[in-house]
Amino acid sequence: MVRTALAALTGVVFVEASSGLRAIEVLGLQPVHLVVLDLNMPDMHGLDVIRFLRTHAKYRQLPVMVLTTRGDDTSRDAAMDAGASLYLTKPFAPSALVAAARAQLEAHAPRRV
């Protein structure tokens, strides 16, 4: 459903990872401009993925959007404190997800001089 919604972003290549460890592996194999991450993943919690990204210079500025079923303030605060760029909850409106992703991509796009 996420991939289908984000297909509205033209010129964007999508790569999926089925676990936190696989996500980190994928990031090391190719350039990535935005991460959409769930907190509930096999083998590595989403918060741990965010913390990993924020401890490596290469990924410190990489936008990380959390998209999860956890709508409580504690989960939201933990994700934002770990370094998430944005926190969204499921269920979601596809148009809201696309708008949020577009805004994150534009905010973190390389600046032309």
Q: How many domains does the chain have?
A: 1
Q: What is the DSSP string of 68-96?
A: ES--SHHHHHHHHHHT-SEEEESS--HHH
Residue 112 scores a pLDDT above 60: no
* Domain carrying residue 66: 1-7+33-83+93-106
64 inside domain: yes
Q: What is the pLDDT of residues 9-46, one digit of tens each?
A: 887 878 889 999 999 999 999 888 899 999 999 899 99
Give this prediction's pTM: 0.90
112 inside domain: no
23 inside domain: no
Q: What is the pLDDT of residue 7?
A: 86
Task: Look up the CATH number of the domain holding residue 53.
Answer: 3.40.50.2300
Q: If pLDDT is split at 50, 70 and 90, which confidence band does 65 have?
A: very high
18 inside domain: no
Q: What is the pLDDT of residues 44-54, one digit of tens each?
A: 999 999 999 99
16 inside domain: no
Give the chain's mean pLDDT. 92
* Angle made by CA atoms 4, 78, 46, in degrees to the nearest 5: 45
